[in-house]
């Protein structure tokens, strides 16, 4: 969906008041918004499904998104995102990984979609908005890695407990 | 720019042009720097300092704050960790051109292992604070490295989750392995 000048100004004014984007210069924000596409979802409409190819990240403008993540072996985490300026699916800007989460709208929702290719163009040009997104991405991925290491330690660092769990599972099967 | 050149910590003398050229050729073959132009690789070389180690010297210990990345210029290093029972376990031997502690550039926290020199070694040290300064200056080289590290972290996280999932999705085939681990652990505890 293409954007008019008014749309760009509107999105910039929404984003400049948000924590992630408040330090962006007006021109940086404008270039970032111009690199994005507008996306609107109806209530309950999926933004992406588990296993779909991640080709873009999203910036929430208005509405509410629920993101569900499976945590091995049996856990699940559900996050609701409703703050304008929140970033979703950032890892897709790094690599074409398949989505590991499902995301859908809980109400009518408006987002900006930043395709990986547009991000790469900004990055290649040394655009500071792209660098700031890289800072966000690195922070998020490091946190995810810490969580995964904690789970790994629980499983392989406590063999007695893991053995009990495995035996329970075999009995149940 | 964060530094004028390479310095040897022992002598505080600048390292010669020949060594800078050698460093550049080592750095160019490292995956972490693969997206960098020649000039950007030179920038990273200049941001490093060259440190010499004798056999038995320790670069850092398990539990130390991760404050730098190291690239082996020449010599050999050993990555060692202590088991829960206090035994020394050699996890890896690192030769010229290997990078250790790259995650220190984007995350702090304690070192997960000790690294020792097993021969006379020359190692390039890229300090976390120096790298942070490059990041603040929006150095494209620094950001290419961060993006590369983000891809590595993302892959590792996926592999870690897959490893955990594999254990629990087929519990029967993993019971034997966990039983053996437990017996080994109990055996070692009895011995100690």
Residue contact A95–B151, C-beta within 8 A: yes
Residue B6 has pLDDT above 50, yes or no: no
Q: Phi and psi at residue B130, in whole multiples of 5°?
A: -65, -45
Min distance B64 CA to chain A CA atoms (Å): 17
pLDDT of residue B153: 86
Residue B176 has pLDDT above 80, yes or no: yes
Report the 10 Å Cβ neighbour count for B157.
21
B106 at the A interface (CB within 8 A)?
Answer: yes
Residue contact B160–A134, C-beta within 8 A: no
Min distance A142 CA to chain B CA atoms (Å): 7
B161 at the A interface (CB within 8 A)?
Answer: yes
Quick one: pLDDT band at residue B165, thresholds 50, 70, 90? confident
Q: Mean pLDDT over residues B51-80, rounded?
A: 94
Measured between CA atoms, the residue of chain B closest to residue A145 is B157
Q: Which of B146, B150, B181 to mutate to test the interface with A (most CBs of A within 10 A)?
A: B150
Quick one: pLDDT band at residue B103, thresholds 50, 70, 90? confident
Chain A residues lying within 8 Å of B183, measured CB to CB: none
B4 Cβ contact list (under 8 Å, min separation 6): B14, B46
Residue B12 has pLDDT above 60, yes or no: no
Residue contact B182–A126, C-beta within 8 A: no
Structural domains in chain A, sorted by start: 5-172 (2.60.120.10)
User: Residue A41: how many CA atoms within 13 Å on its side-chain side?
Assistant: 24
pLDDT of residue B172: 86
Chain B residues lying within 8 Å of A128, measured CB to CB: 138
Query: Higher pLDDT residue, A93 or B1?
Result: A93
pLDDT of residue B140: 96
Residue B94 has pLDDT above 90, yes or no: yes
Q: Which of A23, A125, A127, A169 to mutate to test the interface with B (most CBs of B within 10 A)?
A: A169
Name the residue facing A160 among B160, B165, B182 (closest C-beta): B182
Chain A residues lying within 8 Å of B165, measured CB to CB: 72-73
Quick one: pLDDT band at residue B7, thresholds 50, 70, 90? very low
Q: Mean pLDDT over residues A104-117, rounded?
A: 98
Query: Higher pLDDT residue, A23 or A12?
Result: A12
pTM for this entry: 0.83
Residue B9 has pLDDT above 50, yes or no: no
Range name among A15-19, A42-46, A158-162, B147-151 with the lowest pLDDT average: A158-162
Residue A73 has pLDDT above 70, yes or no: yes
B105-116 pLDDT, tens digit per residue, is: 888 788 888 999
pLDDT of residue B16: 58
Quick one: pLDDT band at residue B181, thresholds 50, 70, 90? confident
Using CA atoms, how far residue B168 sits from A75, A111, A124, A141, in Å, is: 12, 37, 42, 24
Report the 10 Å Cβ neighbour count for A165.
17
Residue contact A145–B156, C-beta within 8 A: yes
Using CA atoms, how far residue A16 sits from A29, A61, A129, in Å, is: 8, 11, 13
């Amino acid at each position: 969906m293409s954007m008019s000048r008014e749309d760009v100004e509107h999105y910039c004014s929404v984003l400049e008041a948000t924590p992630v984007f408040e330090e962006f210069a007006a021109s940086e924000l404008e270039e970032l918004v111009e690199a994005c596409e507008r996306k609107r979802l109806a209530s309950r409409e999926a933004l992406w499904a588990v296993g779909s190819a991640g080709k873009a990240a999203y910036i929430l403008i208005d509405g509410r998104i629920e993101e569900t993540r499976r945590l091995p072996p049996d856990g699940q985490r559900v996050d609701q995102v409703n703050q304008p300026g929140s970033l979703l699916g950032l890892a897709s800007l790094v690599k074409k990984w398949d989505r590991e989460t499902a995301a859908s709208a809980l109400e009518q929702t408006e987002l900006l979609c930043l395709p990986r290719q547009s991000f790469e163009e900004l990055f290649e040009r040394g655009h500071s908005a792209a660098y700031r997104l890289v800072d966000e991405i690195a922070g998020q991925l490091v946190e995810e890695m810490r969580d995964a290491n904690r789970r790994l330690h629980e499983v392989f660092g406590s063999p007695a407990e893991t053995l009990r769990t495995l035996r329970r599972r075999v009995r149940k099967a | 720019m964060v530094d004028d050149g390479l310095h040897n910590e022992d002598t505080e003398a600048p390292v010669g042009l020949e060594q800078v050229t050698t460093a550049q050729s080592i750095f160019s073959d490292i995956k972490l720097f693969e997206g960098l132009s020649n000039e950007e690789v030179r920038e990273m070389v200049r941001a490093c300092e060259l440190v010499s180690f004798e056999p038995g010297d320790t670069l850092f210990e398990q539990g130390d704050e991760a404050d730098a990345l190291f690239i082996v210029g020449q010599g050999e290093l050993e990555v060692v960790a202590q088991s829960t029972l206090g035994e020394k376990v050699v996890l890896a031997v690192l030769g010229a051109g290997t990078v250790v502690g790259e995650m220190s550039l984007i995350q702090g926290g304690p070192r997960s292992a000790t690294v020792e020199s097993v021969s006379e070694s020359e190692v390039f040290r890229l300090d976390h604070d120096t790298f942070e300064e490059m990041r603040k200056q929006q150095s494209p080289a620094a950001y290419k490295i961060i993006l590369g590290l983000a891809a590595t972290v993302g892959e590792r996280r996926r592999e870690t989750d897959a490893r955990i999932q594999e254990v629990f999705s087929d519990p029967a085939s993993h019971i034997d392995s966990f039983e053996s681990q437990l017996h080994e652990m109990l055996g070692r505890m009895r011995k100690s």
